[in-house]
Amino acid sequence: MNNILFNNLPLLVLNQLLSLFYLITTFLYGAHFFKDSQFAKRYKQPVLVLTVLTHVVYLGLLTSIEGYLINYSTVNLMTMVGLTLTITYLFIEFTTKSDKTGFFVISFAAGAQLISSIMTARISNAGITFSGIGIGVHLIAAIFGFSAIAIAGLYSILYLLLFRQIEQNRFELLFQRLPNLEVLEKLTMHAVALGFLFLSITLFAGMVEQRASGEAIKLLEPKLVTLVVIWLLYGTGIFVKPIIGWDIKHMAYLFIFLFVFVTILIVFMTFFSPTFHGLTF
Amino acid sequence: MNIISVGVNHKTAPIEIRERISLSEVQNKEFITGLISSGLAHEAMVISTCNRTEVYVVPAMHEVTGEYLKEYLIAFKDARKEVRPEHFFSRFYCGTARHIFEVASAIDSLVLGEGQILGQVKNAYRIAAEAQCAGILITRLCHTAFSVAKRVKTKTKIMEGAVSVSYAAVELAQKIFSNLSMKKVLLVGAGETGELAAKHMFQKNARNIVITNRTLSKAEVLAEELGTNKVLPYESFKEHLHEFDIIITAISTKEYVLSEAEMHQCMIKRRLKPVIILDLGLPRNVDPDIGKLQNMFLKDIDALKHIIDKNLEKRSRELPKVNAIIEEELVGFGQWINTLKVRPTIVDLQSKFIEIKEKELERYRYKVSEEELQRMEHLTDRILKKILHHPIKMLKAPIDTTDSMPSRVDLVRNVFDLEEPNQSR
């Protein structure tokens, strides 16, 4: 069988191990959040760090096939999304000392990694590879941008859930375990600011790379249009709060909408526009 | 050696009875010193709080039983008309130890996991120790109880979460705002409830607390007590409503202090920044329609009671963990009690060997130099220590059944030909 995993035993083992680590990490974070398990509390962070390290090694091995060049394929993008989400969350956990939202972010990352693992085992074509700093920055910034959008969306959902629980006097699990509304608001707004920054870098690096390579990308190319639309919406989102005075509750609805919108667009484009901005190389 | 506990508490008697039998600190001292000086007890201690009056006694006579102590306390308080022995509980041996461990760890309290009882038990021990009524048994019992309470506090969540309305109000505010030191708090009403809520807010780092009250001087006194020194005249506080993130109302009034229209204007001025209003008044101080405003969290006493109920539920779930800690400590305490039974035998054994050593050394006192005698003494000490090590270790070793202890003691006494122990204690 002509498949990158089945032709490479260490990669196959690491691929399976990584999925298992993600499931264990999600389980530990879930057990701590929902069951207040002290065992899970003690071991979840070390396991998360181990998962991130394994993921980095896995990506190294995966890209080594093409001479450590970034490969533009759905499976690679999915696994990169998983890694960036986890790294971003780990950064949040270390800096804010708040470990209560991990289950929600890591379960999403685990989902992305599981899909990537399953798809990697089924594909025979590795996809297009790229070299050069410009294109590398463009791709990595795009992936971090999507991760930030996802985190902003997830934290917005948590914000609204906690808001409703307090409003309706339902002082249940989420009330007891989630950080307070102000912290969730800060986490959301930081994720949005980061997302906007990464999307801006994506656009800028893309423009620089296009000029340098001389490749012609159509202005109405779906991925380009989508990226610009998302960038505009996010940029507007950042300035809506101070200028129009929208409260965070309405902002949360906007960010959830953007998250769902971006996710649907990515899925659609994966199936209907699988090329890199219409380029054939 | 026995240890008896008798007493009334919230589980055995209504408040009228508890009030009637409770002892002030002076009465407490008088009661326990009376027990000791009359030769009824070797040791005595009384825990007397609003919810319990409990006597812990190491009796000095067989006649001093639980029933005797109940009657003794009733007579001491001259309360025969109101208080009957049926209002009391009584415990013996490990039952007493278990009870005081449960009391100190606050699982026997009216409000599960309340934080005051440990201090009250410590105070009871201090009184007994100062009156020289706490001997080896009560001292060990109390120190083990303190250790149980410390373990329970650190290893379980029995004391977590608010269980009073004023503290629940602060807990709720902390679920909305991350840092209370950055928030401006308005307290409307300087009565007991408001004062308690303000103090809880202060404990959680809220420093910008402004107080308003119909009687301004009362507000000033509370503001000074808190150290904020910020007051607003009651007639004009509504002009500043938009400046506050947290508003606590706790005054006695038939009309609403805050109306929906006033708060609507306030929210416009605040550009919809969230506000929490904690209405601790009864009847309510704030128009309930205010709760419908955007980004407005209005919570009254009923809503806060939901938080308390949830916290108490959470505390109840910790009970198995607390009981496991108590069981562990009980085993250790039981083993220590058993070593007390062998203590006279150990003392006799050591005395006998020291006597032999001294007699033998005396024979050589004038036959060797002072320096050599010291060396011999040092040598014999080391030999005795090694000889006695195993029998003492065997006597102190934990036992599985209580009846094996006398046989162990008898064995050692027979082997080493020790005289019969003194039975006085």
Q: What is the pLDDT of residues A1-56, one digit of tens each?
A: 456 666 777 788 888 899 999 999 999 999 999 888 889 999 999 999 999 999 99
Neighbours of B99 (CB within 10 A): 20
Q: Which residues of B touch A249 (CB under 8 A)?
A: 294-295
B163 close to B116: Cβ distance less than 8 angstroms: no
Q: Which of A63-77, B88-102, B152-166, B326-340 has the lowest mean pLDDT?
A: A63-77
Indicate yes or no: CB of A186 within 8 angstroms of CB of B306.
no
User: What pLDDT does residue B4 have?
Assistant: 95
Give pLDDT < 70 ranges for chain A.
Answer: 1-6, 65-74, 121-133, 213-220, 245, 269-281
pLDDT digits (tens, 9 = 90+) for B341-354: 788 888 889 999 99
- The torsion angles phi and psi of B349, rounded to 5 degrees, stand at -60, -50
Mean pLDDT of B323-343: 88
Report which of B289, B294, B279 is spatially closest to residue B248, judged by C-alpha positions: B279
- Structure tokens belonging to residue A42: 């003690």
Q: If interface means Cβ-Cβ distance under 8 Å, which residues of chain A face chain B?
A: 162, 166-167, 169-172, 175-176, 179-183, 186, 245, 247, 249
- The one-character DSSP state at B48 is E
Per-domain residue ranges of chain A: 1-130, 132-281
Residue B324 CB contacts under 8 Å (≥ 6 apart), including other chains = none
Mean pLDDT of B33-39: 95
What is the maximum span of chain B, computed from C-alpha positions, in angstroms?
109
Thinking of the domain B4-160, which architecture would CATH place it in? 2-Layer Sandwich (3.30)
Q: What is the mean pLDDT of chain B?
A: 90
- The torsion angles phi and psi of B187, rounded to 5 degrees, stand at -110, 115
B249: enclosing H helix or E strand: strand B246-249
Residue B187 has pLDDT above 90, yes or no: yes
Cα distance from A4 to chain B (closest Cα, Å)?
A: 49
Residue B7 CB contacts under 8 Å (≥ 6 apart), including other chains = B47, B52, B53, B54, B55, B88, B89
User: What pLDDT does residue A236 have?
Assistant: 81
Cα distance from B230 to chain A (closest Cα, Å)?
A: 26
Report which of A58, A79, A60, A76 is spatially closest to residue A68, judged by C-alpha positions: A60
Percent of chain B with pLDDT over 70: 97
Neighbours of B128 (CB within 10 A): 26
- The torsion angles phi and psi of B248, rounded to 5 degrees, stand at -115, 125
Residue, of A112 and B229, whose pLDDT is higher: A112
Indicate yes or no: CB of B307 within 8 angstroms of CB of A245.
no
Interface test mutation site (partner A, options B175, B205, B290, B311, max chain A beta carbons within 10 A): B175
- The torsion angles phi and psi of B285, rounded to 5 degrees, stand at -95, -15
Interface test mutation site (partner B, options A35, A180, A183, A190, max chain B beta carbons within 10 A): A180
Cα distance from A211 to chain B (closest Cα, Å)?
A: 46
What chain A residue is nearest to B271 in terms of C-alpha separation? Answer: A245
CATH of domain B165-307: 3.40.50.720
CA pair distance A195, A88, nearest whole angstrom: 11
Indicate yes or no: CB of A183 within 8 angstroms of CB of B295.
no
Q: Which residues of B touch A253 (CB under 8 A)?
A: none
B23 close to B128: Cβ distance less than 8 angstroms: no
Rank A77-91, B140-154, B156-170, B384-398 by mean pLDDT and report only the highest.
Answer: B140-154
User: What pLDDT does residue A267 have?
Assistant: 72
Nearest-CB residue to B178 (from A166, A183, A245): A183
Q: Which residues of A touch B307 (CB under 8 A)?
A: 171
SS3 of residue B369 by DSSP = coil
- The torsion angles phi and psi of B249, rounded to 5 degrees, stand at -115, 130
- The torsion angles phi and psi of A280, rounded to 5 degrees, stand at -100, -25
Locus of tokens 């995993």:
A5
Return the ∠ at Cα A28 (arms to A25 and A30), rounded to 5°: 105
What chain B residue is nearest to A177 in terms of C-alpha separation? Answer: B175
User: What pLDDT does residue B425 have?
Assistant: 44
What is the pTM assigned to this prediction?
A: 0.73
Active-site positions of B read 50
Indicate yes or no: CB of A176 within 8 angstroms of CB of B314.
yes
CA pair distance A188, A179, nearest whole angstrom: 12
Q: How confident is the model at residue B45 (pLDDT cuts 50, 70, 90)?
A: very high
Indicate yes or no: CB of B177 within 8 angstroms of CB of A182.
yes
What chain B residue is nearest to A179 in terms of C-alpha separation? Answer: B175
Thinking of the domain A1-130, which architecture would CATH place it in? Up-down Bundle (1.20)
Beta-strand pair A70-72/A128-130: antiparallel
Locus of tokens 């991925």:
A223
CA pair distance B155, A189, nearest whole angstrom: 36
Percent of chain B with pLDDT over 90: 59
SS3 of residue A191 by DSSP = helix
Indicate yes or no: CB of A166 within 8 angstroms of CB of B175.
yes
Indicate yes or no: CB of B175 within 8 angstroms of CB of A186.
no
Please provide the size of chain A in residues.
281
SS3 of residue B288 by DSSP = helix
Indicate yes or no: CB of A249 within 8 angstroms of CB of B175.
no
CA pair distance B23, B233, nearest whole angstrom: 45
Mean pLDDT of B330-335: 89
Cα distance from B270 to chain A (closest Cα, Å)?
A: 10
Cα distance from B247 to chain A (closest Cα, Å)?
A: 16
Q: Which residues of A touch B306 (CB under 8 A)?
A: 169-171
pLDDT digits (tens, 9 = 90+) for B51-68: 899 999 999 998 899 999
Neighbours of B316 (CB within 10 A): 13
Nearest-CB residue to B176 (from A166, A186, A247): A166
Locus of tokens 């308390």:
B308
Indicate yes or no: CB of B272 within 8 angstroms of CB of A181.
no
CA pair distance B31, B72, nearest whole angstrom: 10
Mean pLDDT of B196-217: 90
Between the alpha carbon of residue A157 and those of residues A164, A185, A204, the distances in Å are: 11, 11, 30
pLDDT digits (tens, 9 = 90+) for B368-424: 888 999 999 999 999 999 999 988 888 877 766 555 667 778 888 888 887 766 544
Mean pLDDT of B109-138: 93
Indicate yes or no: CB of B176 within 8 angstroms of CB of A180.
yes
Rank A79-93, B122-136, B333-347 by mean pLDDT and report only the highest.
Answer: B122-136
- Structure tokens belonging to residue A281: 């190389």
SS3 of residue A67 by DSSP = coil
B234 close to B216: Cβ distance less than 8 angstroms: yes
Cα distance from B332 to chain A (closest Cα, Å)?
A: 26
pLDDT digits (tens, 9 = 90+) for B240-265: 999 999 999 998 888 899 999 999 99
